[in-house]
Amino acid sequence: MSKIKCILIEDEPLAAKVLSDYISEVPFLELQGKFKDAILATDFLRTNDTDLIFLDIHLPKLKGMAFLKTLTHPPAIIITTAYHQYAVEGFELNVTDYLLKPFEFERFLVAVTKVKTAYSEKQVPLAPAENKDYLFLNVDKKKVKVLFADIVYIESQREYIKIVTTKKEYLSKMSTHEMERLLPGHLFKRIHRSFIVSVSKIESYTAEMVEVNGVAIPIGRGYKEVIENL
Q: Give per-residue pLDDT as tens, 175-213.
A: 888 888 888 888 999 999 889 999 999 999 998 899 998
DSSP string, 155-187: EEETTEEEEEESS-EEEESS-HHHHHHHS-TTT
End-to-end CA distance of the chain: 24
Instruction: State how far the Cα of 19 lies from the Cα of 1, in Å rounded to an integer.
Output: 23
Q: Give per-residue pLDDT as tens, 85-110.
A: 765 665 667 788 999 999 999 999 99
Model pLDDT, residue 123: 55
Whole-model pTM over 0.85 = no
Cα angle 215, 47, 111 (rounded to 5 degrees) comes to: 135
SS3 134: strand
Instruction: State how far the Cα of 111 lies from the Cα of 181, in Å rounded to an integer.
Output: 24
Q: Give per-residue pLDDT as tens, 2-60.
A: 789 999 999 999 999 999 999 999 999 999 999 999 999 999 998 888 999 999 998 88
Q: Do β-strands 142-147 and 134-139 pair in parallel, antiparallel, or remain unpaired?
A: antiparallel
The full set of domains in the chain, from first to last, is: 4-125 (3.40.50.2300), 132-228 (2.40.50.1020)
Write b or e for each residue in 161-183: b if 16 or more Cβ atoms lie within 10 A of its Cβ, otherwise e. bebbbeeeebebebbbbebbbbb
